[in-house]
Chains A and B, each alone.
Chain A
Amino acid sequence: MIAILSDIHANREALSACLAHADSAGAARFVFLGDIVGYGADPAWCLRTVMDRIAHGAVAILGNHDQAVFQRSARMNGRAAAAMDWTRAQLSPDAGAFLKTLPLEYADEDRLFVHADASDPAGWRYVTGPLEARRSFEGTPARVTVCGHVHVPRLFGLTAAEKCTAFIPTPGMPVPLSRPRRWLAVVGAVGQPRDGNPAAGYALLDPDTNEMRWMRVPYDVEAAAEKIRRAGLPESLATRLFTGD
């Protein structure tokens, strides 16, 4: 079983809850889909935790917020940029060096793990609908692509007749990613869900049965939000955790 965690965004409480949940669900492998830091108040702890998992065989790829730690981006909005300035100050130079080593994608058998649109991983385009999903499908031969970045769980399928379909997964319900069609799974966010459900999101993929489950894990939102406020980060970054919007 592969646990896939995306968009942790320095939310320590959400990350610990998801890791504990995945461990007890029997996950043997871990893939971190990027954006370990940014927005939240615990970037150093989250980074250390992910590095520790990597030392035990986990794989991590780069997200746009991770990249912004060592390479300033003009494309970030005010809130994200403010959080990024604060984040940089929290991290040691080692952290930046580590993030620099992360790859943009990770191919595993017929699966491709990438932070955003697979047709241009460094372009950080959002996969929000069938049109964007089709562009991503066309950019990779992988049968199953798994990405994050959007913070909203979705499953796109490409049929033998090249029709692109969209589906909203039900939490916990295994969905078969059957052949011959191709699939693009967007996992939700661990640390900053935006689909109206404040519970932390991650996914479990069983490579033997080809089934994927989108999990939701309740965590201590109160504590995570309080830390954001105490750090002097924008208030809206704290309040959105309660509503998941």
Chain B
Amino acid sequence: MSPRRPHQGDEIDGFILGRPIHQGGMASIFEASHPGHAIPLLMKLPHLEGGDPAQIVSFEMEQMILPRLTGPHVPRFVAAAGFERQPYLVMERIPGPSLLLRLRELPLPVDEVAQIGAKVAVALSELHRQRVSHLDVKPANILFRDTPAAEAVLVDFGLSHHGRLPDLIEEEFRIPYGTAPYMAPEQAMGQRNDPRSDLFALGVLLYQFTTGALPFGDPQHIGGVRRRLWRDAVPPRRLRPECPPWLQEVILRCLEVDPARRHPTAAQLAFDLNHPEAVRLTARAGKKRRDGWLKVLERRVNQDRSPRQGRPAATAHAAPVVVVAVDLREQTAPLAEALRASVGNVLRSLPGARVACVNVLLDGYLASDPLQDNRGRSTRVQRLVELRHWAAPLGLEEGRITFHVLGGSGAAAPLLEYAEANGVDHIVMGARANSMMRTMLGSVSGEVAARAPCSVTVVRAREAQP
């Protein structure tokens, strides 16, 4: 353990420390470089002499979790050293600023709030799929990649929980750790194993970006944080009338005290934020003011004060987003039947699942001259009507099924992009029946199955014997 704090220019195991990014009481963060690594790097060094156990444990936690994470929504892990000598953690540096910088521009345009929210929800969905709950989602911990897709990147896993690793935070501390304005009520009660706590935190962020205000303020004591167990937030539309009812619906659903009443998964939240027209409005959308004192008192008196540990958490597994790709032109009746049967089977076994019924409208129908554009639009409406008709035998209630017409030059690419952007778990599609067509045009299902980020079921109707 070095008695001297690290400085710019120091070399540690071949990493040269660059500009300091953050020098707090508990840790230093430096830009770093290494001849063996071409990407921009960042090195985190906890200070040992301070002796704050929370700092040490959260450093251990991040060191344990980060190397196990993959994908574009987390910084890539590069190297780590333990407490034998100077401990450190080296990871990919995401160059852009965090969402913290946007706070001075609040409130943001509604479209942008939805877009940011959807990107963060997709990142959370990826994280949850890897069995990690972040548990400290806030503007400072969200960055965006400098790529065409501009994926959201979540940083700082010091308070995170991995479903299959020892939880050092829970073991070490009785008091809950997190960031007061964004902390979910169950987290304030000591529960650290529910990924839906991240949806609550994202809901707070969406509320803040929509209205410019924090829904539960910035309490300085844990007692103040627990108030959110009974005291609800002022509905966002009261603070910002331009907030559309659908967005209020989504935000207030995220802020539900009972995790079971929130979106079951981050992917479903991303789906809502990407498809405002498909959000099913409930009483939340029209809520004009906070609940009355009687209701609040009742919640306060009846609240469950026990620490909520070990409750089963929702998994993406039980509430998947299922896409059924419907080819309205070539589909034979037996194939349509088989496709519906396959979707029906998925839904019966997974009551939390929701279905996006999708059709691809090829670009030829959407050319740029006004007349064709006009025709293109009506074609789109016609397709939506046909999709609804196609899905009617499934007998699904509003809210569990939505309908979408995607544009594109080929059938596979739009489906794949859609699956990527919405955290889709499962694509169900028909095989092209006519082998002549398949030879000429190639197999769409083959391409989707090969490149999709999720499971793909290709349905084929068994032909009647002649």
Residues of A bordering B, CB below 8 Å: 155, 157, 159-161, 163, 165, 167, 170, 173, 175-176, 178-181, 210
Smallest Cβ-Cβ distance to B65: which chain A residue: A176
Interface secondary structure of B, over-half rule: helix
How many contacting A-B pairs (Cβ < 8 A)? 38
Residues of A within 8 A of B84 (CB): 179
Instruction: Tell me if B281 counts as interface (CB < 8 A to partner A).
Output: no
Residues of A within 8 A of B57 (CB): 159
Q: In the complex, A1 Cα to B53 Cα: how many Å?
A: 32
Given known pairs A165-B171, A176-B64, A178-B64, the reply for A157 and B166 (CB within 8 Å) is yes
Instruction: Tell me if B82 counts as interface (CB < 8 A to partner A).
Output: yes
> Chain B interface: which size bin?
10 to 19
Residues of B within 8 A of A170 (CB): 164
A-B contact pairs, 10 of them (CB 8 A): A157-B171, A159-B172, A160-B53, A163-B171, A165-B171, A170-B164, A173-B165, A175-B166, A176-B64, A178-B63
State whether B83 touches A179 (Cβ < 8 A): yes
Q: In the complex, A155 Cα to B165 Cα: how many Å?
A: 10
User: Which residue from A161, A165, A175, A180 sits with its C-beta under 8 Å from B165?
Assistant: A175
B47-85 vs A, Cβ < 8 Å mask (1 yes, 0 no)? 000000100110010011000000000000000001110
Q: Give chain B interface residues in 393-428, CB to chain A under 8 Å.
A: none
User: Which residue from B56, B63, B164, B172 sits with its C-beta under 8 Å from A173?
Assistant: B164
Q: Give chain B interface residues in 230-273, CB to chain A under 8 Å.
A: none
Smallest Cβ-Cβ distance to B61: which chain A residue: A178
Q: In the complex, A161 Cα to B168 Cα: how many Å?
A: 12
Q: In the complex, A170 Cα to B163 Cα: how many Å?
A: 9
User: Which residue from A155, A163, A180 sits with its C-beta under 8 Å from B172?
Assistant: A163
Q: Give chain B interface residues in 148-207, CB to chain A under 8 Å.
A: 164-166, 168, 171-172
Q: Smallest Cβ distance from A36 to chain B, in angstroms?
A: 30
Residues of B within 8 A of A179 (CB): 82-84
Q: In the complex, A165 Cα to B165 Cα: how many Å?
A: 13
User: Which residue from A157, A161, A175, A176 sits with its C-beta under 8 Å from B53?
Assistant: A161
Q: Smallest Cβ distance from A241 to chain B, in angstroms?
A: 27
Smallest Cβ-Cβ distance to A209: which chain B residue: B67
Smallest Cβ-Cβ distance to B167: which chain A residue: A167
Residues of B within 8 A of A163 (CB): 171-172
Q: In the complex, A161 Cα to B171 Cα: how many Å?
A: 11
Q: Smallest Cβ distance from A133 to chain B, in angstroms?
A: 13
